[in-house]
A and B are shown apart, each in its own frame.
Chain A
């Protein structure tokens, strides 16, 4: 018994290793990475069959196909409607979307990935809260806290990278978690709904962030906006792929790896551990969970702490990886876009990665499109809105089927 479970473990670890190697190589502009990713898929299939049996695997794939079918249809429909919109307003839909896809997936694919990194974290934060029956609508606030903490530490740290970076992750993540602890405690103690409280905390964090920028390198004499902080010390920068794979794009940093690994870890926690089991139990039926000895209040608190931690990570990777400083950025919108991605992913933490990449590609492609064809970028907003609207197709579909 022990032996077999050990072999599962080996296969799982190999799978993750292959995924990481594959991504690294691919991001380093070496297409052999794709082979590794394919191998990882095969390994995953083998692992599933060994552990749960063939029948179970077929069930999983079937239900996976079923869940992906309608969102895919929704995405196509959204592009179709968006195309009609472009046609009416006098642009060429096919050419525009062609440029968008070319820009998002081929020409500027690294921008898509850079866009996706913070989205993966915020969407994971919202997903894990969803699983616990909570709605972390204020992820944006925890993102700001993570950003501020990382910048503050980054400016002051003068340590070797290997020490500084993990330390910043831990401390800034802890700050985000602590920031979310207040709504969590209010929820458990007074019953104040987290939608109102986390949202208020998001606005508070945003307001404070402009102050923070003024006192960390911004111009303190400027009253309203003091755009930029000092840069963080170079030892705290996340390594880029270029540093070990010379063909890679110079901006591409290893944040995407951290994000993917985090997504896998969240999936593992939710579905394989006692904590995840308890989170899901509380989310689905807190009465039964309580009756069966789960400390519901404690689980709510832990869930919110984890959500805060993950959202803060989004800020940390953004500062350490890409910006290396903090901007006054009123409409960063990673919180809201994170909600969109989490909804699109339908509370699956693995699907979050793909949905975030897709969302990032939409933005990157939109920018490329408007630069080359002068089609307004904001068509992307319309398409995004439509997609979000069409995710509800799942519910629509169920509704009409029940009516019939």
Chain B
């Protein structure tokens, strides 16, 4: 009896399942870069598909086209079989498209209810009918098993709950198709599991879901089908059941997963150039973000810190360079405690820093290249003497660095905001390397850069290591850590959870500890 019903259901699904969204040969270019080329994707009713691709593969462009933020150069979109040309997000919303952005689109100071109803407020004669809104939301959350307190302020919610609000926001607008952009990048393992069950629940109630991600494991755990996007093209389509992670990885990257770096073996010196003991640092909300973290770096080695974003990496680097107060613990450069040193002192005594946000913390964009080279060297006698800037000296220095680091720039007087992202990063590296630091803190050195720039920067870091600089590398990209680091530390909730020698580490093991190391939900693939 049950089997019969099940078979009937499956048959019904096979027969009735309709295409809800289809793209036909979509292309989109920005200046010279072809972000999307001839993309063909189909989405059936009640199905979860993934679009898998590296950073810069064209995922977000595709998503923004679907959502009506960009207009495609070529190609058409069919929504429920009808031509769909969204010129604004509003239109996409009314047609039943819902989107959950990677950076949540929530107003932190407003309540859950207010965020959900924003723009679609139920009205009464007296203004917004909050009672009705509240009831609607409670009904919605019951129906989709998305438990939430409608009166809570967003800022008080965990990231996982905030994501839930985003999903509810889409469902409140009667979304039949849900696009999720990198949904798990900020979630804890527990939250990821909850998230998976939510998405499956949505599917079972007939919502179609597109998950955009660069994480291989989740694909296996959740999606029915997967499209692989590489350099703006679809390079593969698979039924998830039939494909292995290795296959997916190869299709996604187009070569071996580990980037090619001219990595020579290098003997590390048997001393310690940088040490952190039991460090405790608060985040902006006054909650410990780094909580009892210890590590050391030897001259001539690269120590990689792997971890999911938001586990204290940012606060750690700010504490090391000195822009954030240290609550407790110690930091030593060679044998000196630098805890109470000014930033100026730290720089002068041999700490180099490549910040994660290069445009905010690394460069002053309206300044010329030469002035940016001077930045941080205010005490260098060769550039400033008796309080006066030696302009020809800094210009010569900048010219030298431009050629040594092959920065593509018109000259030393060009403002830094005329440089491409890769060249801006090279400029920062050039400046830091030029100071000949003993210890270098590098955070997210290749985020958003193209492959050429990434390889160049990786090789430069190796060169620095070979000159016996101790390097601490913080990165969210496991591949980067694996291709550079001599030792790998896994950070989780502000402490080092596990340490690996490079030879003994596997991606699976590191990934396992990155998510807390308690349950192997996603590493059994």
Contacts and interface: CB of A to CB of B under 8 A. Distances in A.
A197 B233 CA distance: 57
A5 B392 CA distance: 10
A285 B344 CA distance: 17
B357 to A, nearest CB: 8
B378 interface: yes
Interface of B: 321, 323, 342-348, 353, 355, 360-367, 371, 374-376, 378, 384, 387-392, 413
A163 interface: no
A291 B378 contact: no
A57 to B, nearest CB: 12
A300 to B, nearest CB: 16
A293 B342 contact: yes
A263 interface: no
Given A292-B347, A295-B344, A274 B384 contact: yes
A391 B149 CA distance: 52
Contacts of B391: 51-52, 272
Given A56-B413, A281-B364, A285-B365, A292 B389 contact: no
Contacts of A227: none
B429 to A, nearest CB: 14
A81 B346 CA distance: 59
Given A275-B387, A277-B389, A284-B366, A293 B361 contact: no
A293 B360 CA distance: 15
Contact of A287 (B360, B367, B387): B360
Given A274-B388, A277-B389, A284-B366, 16 more contacts: A5-B390, A51-B392, A56-B413, A273-B387, A273-B389, A277-B374, A287-B360, A287-B361, A288-B364, A288-B375, A290-B323, A290-B343, A292-B343, A293-B378, A294-B378, A295-B344
Contacts of A287: 360-361
A289 B364 contact: yes
Contacts of A194: none
B420 to A, nearest CB: 18
A319 to B, nearest CB: 32
Interface string A260-300: 00000000000011110110110011011111111100000
A238 to B, nearest CB: 30
A51 B378 CA distance: 21
The 5 closest A-B pairs by CB, nearest first: A292-B376, A293-B344, A293-B343, A291-B361, A285-B364
Given A272-B389, A273-B388, A281 B323 contact: no
A273 B378 CA distance: 10
Contacts of B345: 293
B323 A274 contact: no
A315 B522 CA distance: 73
A288 B360 contact: yes
B364 A284 contact: yes
Nearest to B367: A284
A274 B383 CA distance: 10
Contacts of B384: 274, 277
Contacts of A273: 387-389
Contact of B323 (A56, A272, A284, A291): A291
6 contacts: A52-B392, A274-B389, A277-B378, A281-B364, A285-B363, A293-B343
B371 A277 contact: yes
Nearest to B374: A277
Nearest to A52: B391
Contacts of B378: 274, 277-278, 293-294
